[in-house]
Amino acid sequence: MRIEVTRDVFRLAQVFTISRGSRTEAHVLTVRVSDGLHSGRGECVPYARYGETLDTVTAEIEALSGDLSRAELYDVLPAGAARNAVDCALWDLEAKRAGKRVWELAGMSAPGPEITAYTLSLDTPDAMRAQAEHNAHRPVLKIKLGTPDDMPRLEAVRAGAPRSRIIVDANEGWSAAVYSDLAPHLVRLGVALVEQPLRAGEDDALIGMDRPVPVCADESCHDRASLPALKGKYDMINIKIDKTGGLTEALALRAAAMAEGYGIMVGCMVGSSLAMAPATLVAQGAAVTDLDGPLLLAEDREAPLVFDDAGVHPPTEALWG
């Protein structure tokens, strides 16, 4: 079996800003695995927050032996972007070999569309109100916060989209004191969820703290090994296949987290439809789906995911799985 990795760049529809910086392009890695007769694809988005770069992840993938099963892959690579792309490519390859869809191989029911959040770029309050007004028809809006000026931005978005459900991602930008101060205002403004208010590794302050708005672990939750440290701090977890290291672990994490009583959110990095495709399976029945990456792009893969009033639809065979 041959493993090939290439770099791809997708232009964004507009500048996308979070508290950690701005970007105009999505830089991704595409992995192809082939047995000479069939081939499968996967995509990953290396993330600097976790010490990943395009170069380091490429090197991890290129160092792999050509004849790895998914089970063997988990003994060779840790959770992260490299394992994700290869794992998803192997799922795609297995489906093509078997003449079945991935969801069938995974023992799942046929997937359907899921309503997805749409992320508003961090900007001035006036600009964010304009973004909210333009997207007020969307049922769920996600706001990237984590700055000293969060309340004016949140007020502006609520004014611009009075009927949308709002979720907030603080990107580890708050302290415990800031979160406690903001919590009543989050309730007043109808915020449904707060992602990662405190920095991963410094979130023990959440233990015993009143959480009138559910708190979701993002940077604090990667795979099943993360779960013991989340107890008493979080109400939900955000599953991203680039963090879990693939669909295999994402499905296992989902089952383990649900068994422990956590609500499920399924999120993404900014990538193409190929990156979102496996995550649509994990998102089935999730409390929150946040797979809007392709909606932020000016260009996408061939046979892209379909987004409509019903939500994000599972991929066709022409894209993945």
The average pLDDT across 253-260 equals: 98
Bridge partners (DSSP) of residue 44 are 29
3-state helix, strand, coil in the chain (%, to 5): 35, 25, 40
Q: What pLDDT digit, counting tens, does each position of 116-152 carry? A: 999 998 889 999 999 999 999 999 999 988 877 889 9
Across the range 171-183, mean pLDDT stands at: 88
Tokens 């009033």: give the residue.
309
pLDDT attached to residue 90: 97
Above 70 in pLDDT, residue 18?
no
Q: Which residues contact 65 (CB under 8 A, 6 or more apart)?
A: none
**% of residues, the chain, pLDDT over 70:** 98
Mind listing the pLDDT tens digit for each residue in 149-162?
Answer: 889 999 999 999 99
- What is the pLDDT of the chain when averaged over all its residues? 94
**pLDDT, average across residues 308-320:** 97
The three-state DSSP-derived secondary structure of 261-283 is CCEEEECCCCCCHHHHHHHHHHC
* Residue 126 CB neighbours (<10 A): 12
Cα–Cα–Cα angle for 14, 152, 181, rounded to 5 degrees: 125
Percent of the chain with pLDDT over 90: 85
Confidence (pLDDT) at 19: 59
Tell me the pLDDT band of 68, cut-offs 50, 70 and 90: confident
DSSP of 67-80, one letter per residue? Answer: ---HHHHHHHS-SS
Residue whose token pair is 């708050």: 174
The residue whose two tokens read 């969060």 is 150
* Confidence (pLDDT) at 148: 75
